[in-house]
Chain A
Amino acid sequence: MKTQLLYEWTKKIHMYSGLLTFTAFVVWGVTGIHAVFLAPPGEYKPPPVSSVREIPYKAAGGLDDQQLAKAIFETVAIPLAGGRYNVHRDEQSNLAFNVFTINGGREVTFLEEAGIVRVAHRANSLWSYLSSMHTAHSRRHRLTASVIAWGYFNELATWAFLFMTISGLYMWIATRPGLRWAQLSLGGMGVLTLALWIAIR
């Protein structure tokens, strides 16, 4: 009786967890397929520039490049900016740096003589966007309400996924443990996965 009750409730929660977090699983599945076709290190080609905006800016005279990059970064207020990197001087000796965002990188260049900051946006594909979003959780990408909300949802889905993996195994053992093809599926892939783990370690 107790076992039956445990099984019934496990099945219910397994089903409810999957239904509630179904959107996140679709995002993960799509991201996992997309990841296989990403370029190897060193061969990444950024997407083309999709838009450029120019902002009048006058630099304070006493700032070094890092301090000025920080001041420009704060002024241009790029939506969902995840931080600046690669602060450098370009071929024309203009101060330049990159900004990562979930919706595609920005290349920021300060044309000091003209008093203009140029922000070039390389909008990413929907697949790259979903790939960035699949990494969000309660401590990462805490930028705006929508991405924070997604991060909590994504994290909940991670726990749900772990629960469904374990509860699914339990439900198989509780109902149809004798199925030969099921045993072979688990055993065959289990051996392959463990062998790979041993090889890599």
Chain B
Amino acid sequence: MFQLMRNIHLGLGLIFVLMALVFAISSLVIIYRPLLNTTPQDTETAVRLSPDDAASPRVAARVLMTAHGFKGDLRQIQEQGDTVRFRIVRPGEAAEVEYARSTGEARIKKKRQGALETLVHLHTNHGLWHEYAPSNLWASISLLASAGLLLLGATGIYLWFAHHSERVIGGILLGSGLVFGLVTLYLTRLQQ
């Protein structure tokens, strides 16, 4: 049993080691963001859409994705008279598109994040409803990694308990962490 648990612990740890690094590093980026230079790179481009492409925001977005290299989910379509606005978003990059239906003239403001902020976007990327397949795949792996984290915790507890010489110190640490964590969570929940 010990060997089985040890192997499960190792296997889960190795399978999710890169995901664990993504989550850990992105959490530290969030905490220490004021100390880091995570300014995105802004660029602006102009594109002319054909009358057929400009007729529908979805068609226009598809053209921008297939012919101009923009990738991601299509979001926040707004139509006001002749003006159409939407965003194409993926972890680490967002393109804000505005075009005139009558002329097909499109202005695209692209905000591209650096590697650290992209890690943060991946950390917060959730749900299986994305039109952009890599976002769905990433969210699926995140789901597995979250379940894996719980299993790593459970197997870790088993492995610790099997080390008889570590039971006292480990028990104190586990108990302290549980009491501290649960009490602070409970007290905060009471503040309705």
Residues of A within 8 A of B (CB): 12, 15-16, 18-33, 35-41, 79-80, 102-104, 121, 123, 129-130, 133, 135, 137-140, 144, 146-147, 149-150, 153, 155, 158-159, 161-162, 165, 168-169, 172, 176, 179, 181-182, 185-186, 188-190, 192-194, 196, 199-201
Closest to B133 in A: A199
8 Å CB interface, B137-186 against A: 137-143, 145-147, 149-150, 152-153, 156-157, 159-160, 163, 166, 169-170, 173-174, 176-178, 180-185
Interface pair A22/B146, CB less than 8 Å apart: no
Closest to A129 in B: B189
Min Cβ gap B82→A in Å is: 24
Cβ of B47 under 8 Å from chain A: no
A residues less than 8 Å from B178 (CB atoms): 22-23
A165-B20 contact, Cβ under 8 Å, with A158-B28, A200-B138: yes
A residues less than 8 Å from B21 (CB atoms): 162, 165
Cβ of B65 under 8 Å from chain A: no
Residues of B within 8 A of A (CB): 10-11, 13-25, 27-28, 30-31, 34, 75, 90-92, 118, 122, 126-129, 134-135, 137-143, 145-147, 149-150, 152-153, 156-157, 159-160, 163, 166, 169-170, 173-174, 176-178, 180-185, 187-189, 191-192
Interface pair A146/B177, CB less than 8 Å apart: no
A residues less than 8 Å from B181 (CB atoms): 23-24, 27, 150, 153
Interface pair A139/B138, CB less than 8 Å apart: no
Q: How far is the CA of A179 from the CA of B170 in the complex (A)?
A: 29
- Which of B122, B149, B159 makes the CB contact (< 8 A) with A32? B149
A16-B169 contact, Cβ under 8 Å, with A32-B146, A36-B143, A144-B191: yes
Interface pair A103/B192, CB less than 8 Å apart: yes
Interface pair A26/B153, CB less than 8 Å apart: yes
Interface pair B146/A16, CB less than 8 Å apart: no
Interface pair A149/B184, CB less than 8 Å apart: yes
A residues less than 8 Å from B135 (CB atoms): 200
Interface pair A186/B166, CB less than 8 Å apart: no
Task: List 13 other contacts, CB 8 Å, given A15-B166, A129-B189.
Answer: A12-B166, A15-B159, A15-B163, A19-B160, A21-B177, A36-B128, A38-B127, A103-B189, A146-B188, A147-B188, A169-B13, A196-B134, A196-B137
Q: How far is the CA of A39 from the CA of B129 in the complex (A)?
A: 8
Q: How far is the CA of A23 from the CA of B182 in the complex (A)?
A: 7
Closest to A188 in B: B15
Interface pair A199/B134, CB less than 8 Å apart: yes
A residues less than 8 Å from B92 (CB atoms): 200-201
A residues less than 8 Å from B90 (CB atoms): 200
Interface pair B184/A193, CB less than 8 Å apart: no
B residues less than 8 Å from A179 (CB atoms): 10
Closest to A161 in B: B24
Interface pair B143/A33, CB less than 8 Å apart: yes
Q: How far is the CA of A18 from the CA of B180 in the complex (A)?
A: 15
